[in-house]
Amino acid sequence: MGAYLLKRLVSNVLLVAIAASMAYFLAATSLNPRAKYEGRQPPVAEAVIDSTLDDYNLNDKKPVFERYVTWVSGVVTGDLGKTWQGKSVNDEMGRRIGVSLRLLLIGTVLGSGIGVAVGAFAAIRQYRVSDRVIGVAAFVIMAVPVFVMAKMLTIGAVGMNELLGTKLEYTGEYTPGLSGWDQTLSRLNHLILPTISLCLGQIAFYSRIQRNMMLDVLGQDFVRTARAKGLSRKAALLKHALRTALVPAATYFAFTFGTLLTGAIFTEKIFGWNGMGAWLVDSIQQNDTNAVAAVNLFAAVCVLFAGLLSDFIVAALDPRVRVS
């Protein structure tokens, strides 16, 4: 097991390295940080621009491979380089990473947890009104892209605040100037809408998966055996079908994580959170090569970590794939 995990880890690190390098090359060749300086009033001398860009390892006059080598030698020592303004990418990332992780973690846990529960409920109530309502709702939600969902939530929040006088927050991470308990409450308040926006799609997706998997399992012999033993239909479903159907649902975890990551970009942008996702969009628009490369590195690590986690969950749930 140890040797296997090590091998797996090595191949994952390799995959991340190649993916991140690819992203760097893409970013370094398609983004143009020089533009940020050239358009300035008063004009900046070319030599000055060159030396500034050289300092930040962003000079497009240097062969891209040379820049890459510089970037890599920084990355392996833990230095992700400088932004186009010369600030440290590490510092910026340190500020933003927590924001994104908080959102992603809550989104994953709530999305999959509630989704599985809703799906199981729908499966037990197959063809009843509640199952149909859940099915229709899931379909509609899955058809609404995150950015439309986020905006609609904002519209809804504004409307609700006007009508009911509530103070549901829809921009930023917290209200500045508060402290202690008030600040915690404010953070929670700010968290509500982004969480809903990120989770709803996941819940809808997982509920469909879990329902379908459970109904697939329902027709299988072991559920019949469980009922032949004297378990009621509901007990057989909850004890035998739900647990077994979790296995295929868990394998979807790795795949949905990519969607979640993309969803986080929209959510952060629309609700004004300064996370990694928002940073990606901003830095592409600002031609900030090193920042883009850093976000990509972060994304690659997250995706692979999700894949590994998914494998572990599957192994924990399914004795058939464990190696003793």
Partner 1 sequence: MRSKVVFARMLRNRQTRYGLIALLVLLLLAYVGPFFGPHDWLEKDFAAFMEPPSADHWWGTTQIGQDVYAVALHGMQKSIVIGFLVALISTGLAALVGASAGYFGGWLDKALMWGADLLLVLPSFLIIAIVSPNLRGGSWLWFVLLLAAFSWMITSRVVRSMTLSLREREYILAARYMGIPGWKIIIRHVVPNLSSLLIIDATLNVSAAIIGEAGLSFFGFGVQPPDVSLGTLIAAGSDKVPGYSWLFLFPSGLLVLLVLSVNLIGDGLRDALDPGSNS
Partner 2 sequence: MTILEVNDLNVTFRGGIKAVRGVSYQLARGEVLGIVGESGSGKSVTSLAVMGLLPEGAEISGSVKLHGQELIGMPEEELTRLRGKSIGMIFQDPLSAFTPVYTIGAQIAEAVRIHQKVGKDKAAKRAVELLDLVGIPHPDVRAKAFPHEFSGGMRQRAMIAMAIANDPDVLICDEPTTALDVTIQAQVLEVLKTAQRETGAGIVMITHDLGVVAGLADRVLVMYAGRPVELGGVDEIYYRPRMPYTMGLLASIPRMDRPSARLIPIEGNPPSPAALPPGCPFAPRCPMKVDACDDGEPELEPVGPGSRRAACIRAHEIELKNLDGATIYPVPEPPAETEASRPRAERETVLKVEDLIRHYPLMKGAVFKRRVGTVHAVDGISFDIAEGETLGLVGESGCGKTTTLQQIMQLEAPQDGTVVVLGKDSAKLGRGERTALRRDLQIVFQDPMAALDPRMPVGDILAEPLRAHGRKDVPARVAELLTLVGLEPSHAERYPQNFSGGQRQRIGIARALALEPKLIVLDEPVSALDVSIQAGVINLLEDLKVKLGLSYLFVAHDLSVVRHIADRVAVMYLGKIAEIGAVEEVYARPAHPYTRALLSAIPLPDPNLERSRERILLEGDLPSPASPPSACRFRTRCPKRARLSAEDARRCDTEEPIVTRLAPAADHGAACHYPEVTEVPETAVS
Considering the complex, what minimum distance in angstroms separates the CB of residue 318 from partner 2?
Answer: 6
Residues 6+ apart with CB under 8 A from 306: 253, 254, 257
Partner from partner 1, partner 2, none binding residue 146, C-beta < 5-8 Å depending on class: partner 1
> Cβ closer to partner 2: 30 or 225?
225
- Return the number of the residue (140 or 321) whose C-beta is nearest partner 1: 140
Site string for partner 1, 248-277 (x = CB under 8 A): -------x--x--xx--xx--xx-------
Euclidean distance between the first and the last CA atom of the chain, given in angstroms as a whole number: 8
CA neighbours closer than 13 Å in the CB half-sphere of residue 324: 3
- Which one of partner 2, partner 1, none interacts with residue 255, CB within 5 to 8 A by kind? partner 1
x-marked contacts with partner 2 along 204-243 as a string, rule CB under 8 A: ---------------xxxx-xxxxxxxxxx-----xx--x
Instruction: In angstroms, give the least distance from the CB of 2 to partner 2.
Output: 11
Q: Cα(162)–Cα(129) distance, rounded to whole angstroms?
A: 34
The DSSP code for 176 is T
Question: Hey, what long-range contacts does 240-248 have (CB within 8 A, 24 or more apart)?
Answer: 241/123, 241/214, 241/217, 242/120, 242/214, 243/317, 244/217, 245/120, 245/210, 245/213, 245/214, 245/216, 245/217, 246/116, 246/210, 246/317, 247/314, 247/317, 247/318, 248/209, 248/213
Instruction: Report DSSP state, residue 232.
Output: -
Q: Binding-site residue total for partner 1 (CB under 8 A)? A: 51
* 76, 129, 163, 323: which one binds partner 2 (CB under 8 A): 323
Which CB sits closer to partner 2, 222 or 255? 222
Interface mask (CB under 8 A) for partner 2, residues 285-314, using x and -? --------------------------x--x
Question: H-type helices in 271-288, by residue range?
Answer: 276-285
Applying CB under 8 A, does 35 fall inside the site for partner 1?
no
Helix (H) or strand (E) holding 289: helix 289-317
Site residues (vs partner 1, CB under 8 A): 15-16, 18-19, 22-23, 26-27, 30-31, 139-140, 142-148, 151-152, 154-155, 158-159, 208, 211-212, 215-216, 218-219, 255, 258, 261-262, 265-266, 269-270, 280-281, 284-285, 292, 295-296, 299-300, 303-304
